[in-house]
Structure 1
Amino acid sequence: MVNEKQATGSGISGSGPLKGLTVLDITRVVAGPFCSMLLADLGATVIKVEHPDDPDYARTFPPFVSGDDQQELSAFFAQFNRNKLGITLNMKSEEGKTLLKKLVRRTDVLVENFRPGTMDKLGLGYEVLKQENPRLIYTAISGFGRTGPNASRPGFDNSGQAVGGLWSMNGYPDRPPVRVGTIIGDLAASLYAAIGTLAALREAERSGEGQVVDISQQDSILTLTENAVVRYTTKGEVASPLGNEHPFVRPYGQFPCKDGYVFFGGYTDKFWKITCEIFGEPEIASDPEIDTMEKRFDKAVSERRVRPILERWFSRYTKAELEALAGDRIPLSAIKTIAEVVEDPHIAAREMIVKVPIAGKLVRMFGLPIKLSRTPGNAYAKAPAPGEHNGFVYSRLVGLTSEEVGELAERGVI
């Protein structure tokens, strides 16, 4: 069972490098919540704002964890909203607009992921809010960004993968393109949003002025296409699905073994020579047909000579045995299932699987990948229930009494 401190923890005081930073998070699902989660993990006080009658629908996403009261809570939601305070606010009501403006006066950052123009229609766009707080960093995440002919289009993760070029490159050459198997558009946009927010905060420290951080999923995906852009602009080559192959580096890809697959990337002359030695055939390194990196890059030569050699070697061993043979001498890694990753001793040593309270239980989920030596960040606290911290936040930041908070709740303002 979770102790009382764990079950009621909220990251309220904050610890870590961003302690003292206050963030209003009015985002939903992942593109936005992941950004503010990173800030919360690093010590910021993040206040998740939800509509009192229409909370973040990611709360309905599986998998669920059942508490002692039989209430089911979403582990998906908890993973991206841990360490946050939770309040409710109807920004369509006049009283709600006024409350948001008052919150903004005491806030460093506001993160939103509405379609561009939505906040302006509510009378709560950046030009309005900066009048309340000139230092405000206004971080906006959307499918296509705040400018350009497609700015008003709705966008999801798949939209970003489609229009950013990544979808067209993924899959196998003889089959239709395949989307990347995770919401990489949402995640990439959130990562860039966090970087942009911190850069804008640094500038605000110097100038005293905030600004808009404009993040597009399409832009974010485009930057993940590796060499595709320069291949096209310099050579006119259009990237297409390559399966598990690299466009020009070989051997560098997926190879079968006794109990699954491994990645092997020993394409340099140094690594190739060591690999031949490890597998007991050092003479292959001096074979005149494949003795240089340039020769092994040739696709026909690679398929006819190099791949059969590697498959013959690897087929004798399991993934674990191959990793043990490779050690720190050559780049060879087991292609692990999520189950294997979660139980990986190295992942454990890096504290990348952490226990977060959900429904009175501790649930394992991914941790913070940013490792700071002196100021590591917050302990992992539970995600808030809708409006759980209304009393605390509205009293601390706005100065409302408990009676006033109760009246606003009765009227559906919060």
Structure 2
Amino acid sequence: MIDDLTRALLNDRGGVDAAPGSLAGVVVLDITRVVAGPYCSMILADLGATVIKIENPDDPDYTRTFPPLLPRDGEEPLSGFFAQYNRNKLGFTLNLKSPDAAQVLDRLVQRADVLVENFRPGTMDRLGHGYERLRGVNPRLVYAALSGYGQSGPYRLRPAYDNSAQATGGLWSMNGEAGRPPTRVGTIIGDLAASLYGVIGVLAALRHAEQTGQGQLVDISQQDSVLTLTENAVVAYTAEGEVPKPLGNEHPFVRPYELFPCRDGFVFFGGYTDKFWRISCETFGSAADWDEHPDLHAMAARFDADVYREKVRPMVVRWFADRTKSELEALAGDLVPLSAVKDIGEVVEDPQIAARGMIVANEYPGHGELRTFGSPVKLDRTPPRTAGLAPEKGEHTDRVLTDFLGFSVEDVEALRTGGTV
């Protein structure tokens, strides 16, 4: 029934792909805001789950006001930021502080498989809706809590943002130009990583719940998530006592494997293996570049920092200086790891991105077309649905209350009058 209701409600505004996905029948309660949480539940929605986005009627997800904004005459503008992370969800309002909130939330929990929240630890307990109480309502419930530092440890109650995770997870200290202050990674990598690990945790816990009838707490920390993105930094420290520092565009030991200038911008070139180095010499240079430098034939020699700086890098810079990004890609993109460094405009129009369906255009009534990223998960039998719209605040509240939860029209009106929904 919930799948039929979901498809009907999402199709009311057009554009949603009605085909059931891998997670068809799974009901997710999304009590999150911003990105770490909304992105997690959006991925589950793309994969076919019914996701009910629960917002406070008086204090909704504040990314609804984040730019870019698509105007509409006489109406609130649409946030492209919000739309990008909330497609395919049902909009539902519920004031969790209301005395009557428990009766509504408990009915939702009884019908749900998953709840995702991203409050600071302890918040849901203070509201009377913590995991221990809700698993009594539904023992099968998978309760995913995404937070800055996790549900345990001395930092657990600290407020946190993405930058907090980049700072305390080690990534910030490693990023930037050599000899200069560290630079944050240029995207909200802590939020995004926590969301992705949240999806993994939810899927694992769902499988366990299906087998045993028992749900569990999925505890995801942004700090933990960022730590796992630091490549070899942990083992470099624990094995050799080395503390990685910013290296700019260089790799800690693999060379050449970095950014190089060309006539109209920059390219990434990673021809560090013996095979790729030989092909590169033959393709970009001349016979002399290979024949006259036998000392560079071995990968270990090219990895030496002094040899690289004095011989290898100047050779590569010479190869690329008078060629454009497109010329270099056309010449060697199929032969060696060489890629143009593209701005986001070039990426959106990239033919490979188009071939993979990674830019999705949706028509928002009254606002016009909005293009967002698609899904990188490609499934040939149950492909993700990416053509859905983000909901208006509380757009589906009445239908979910009556058709899914069994409240009467009079009950709904009483809940609304009391400020519960």
TM range (shorter): over 0.9
- Relative distance call for 1:336 and 1:6 in structure 2 (3 A) is farther
Structure 1 residues 116-125 or 374-383, which shifts more? 374-383
In the alignment, structure 2 segments of 5+ residues that lack a partner are: 1-8
**Counterparts of residues 7-46 of structure 1 (less than 5 Å):** 8-9=13-14, 15-46=20-51
How far off its partner does 1:291 sit? 1.7
Corresponding residue for 1:339? Answer: 345
Corresponding residue for 1:412? Answer: 419
Partners of 2:17 and 2:388 within 8 A in 1: no
Q: 1:368 aligns with which of 360, 372, 375?
A: 375
Corresponding residue for 1:210? Answer: 215
Work out the CA distance in 2 between the residues paired with 1:344 and 1:406.
50
Corresponding residue for 1:382? Answer: 389
1:189 aligns with 2:203: no
1:91 aligns with 2:96: yes
Structure 1 residues 170-179 or 217-226, which shifts more? 170-179
Partners of 2:256 and 2:269 within 8 A in 1: yes
Q: 2:306 aligns with which of 286, 300, 306?
A: 300
How far off its partner does 1:245 sit? 0.2
1:310 aligns with 2:316: yes
Corresponding residue for 2:164? Answer: 159
1:138 aligns with 2:126: no
- Relative distance call for 1:199 and 1:147 in structure 2 (3 A) is same
**Counterparts of residues 174-185 of structure 1 (less than 5 Å):** 174-185=179-190
Query: Amino acid of the residue matched to residue 121 of structure 1?
Result: R
Q: 2:331 aligns with which of 320, 325, 333?
A: 325
- Relative distance call for 1:11 and 1:405 in structure 2 (3 A) is farther
Partners of 2:15 and 2:363 within 8 A in 1: no
Corresponding residue for 1:354? Answer: 360
Number of residue equivalences: 411
1:224 aligns with 2:216: no
Q: Deviations over 1:154-212 (max 9, x none)?
A: 11100000000000000011211000010000000000000100000011111110000
Partners of 1:10 and 1:381 within 8 A in 2: yes
Partners of 1:31 and 1:113 within 8 A in 2: yes
Corresponding residue for 1:394? Answer: 401
Query: Amino acid of the residue matched to residue 335 of structure 1?
Result: V
1:82 aligns with 2:87: yes
Please give the secondary structure, in 2, of the residue aligned with 1:161.
helix
Partners of 2:10 and 2:16 within 8 A in 1: no
Partners of 2:375 and 2:386 within 8 A in 1: no
Query: Amino acid of the residue matched to residue 91 of structure 2?
Result: G
How far off its partner does 1:246 sit? 0.3
Query: Amino acid of the residue matched to residue 194 of structure 1?
Result: V
TM-score normalised by the chain length of structure 2: 0.95
Please give the secondary structure, in 2, of the residue aligned with 1:307.
helix
Partners of 1:14 and 1:20 within 8 A in 2: no
Partners of 1:29 and 1:58 within 8 A in 2: yes
Work out the CA distance in 2 between the residues paired with 1:26 and 1:70.
25
- Relative distance call for 1:12 and 1:243 in structure 2 (3 A) is closer
Please give the secondary structure, in 1, of the residue aligned with 2:296.
coil
Partners of 2:17 and 2:386 within 8 A in 1: no
Question: How much is the aligned-residue C-alpha RMSD, in angstroms?
Answer: 1.6
Work out the CA distance in 2 between the residues paired with 1:12 and 1:348.
18
Corresponding residue for 1:247? Answer: 252
Q: Deviations over 1:276-312 (max 9, x none)?
A: 1112413322413312111110111111111111111
- Relative distance call for 1:65 and 1:54 in structure 2 (3 A) is same
Please give the secondary structure, in 1, of the residue aligned with 2:361.
strand
TM-score normalised by the chain length of structure 1: 0.96
- Relative distance call for 1:323 and 1:7 in structure 2 (3 A) is farther
Please give the secondary structure, in 1, of the residue aligned with 2:295.
coil
Partners of 1:10 and 1:85 within 8 A in 2: no
Query: Amino acid of the residue matched to residue 372 of structure 1?
Result: L
How far off its partner does 1:402 sit? 2.4
Q: Deviations over 1:289-346 (max 9, x none)?
A: 3121111101111111111111111012110110011132100000000000000000
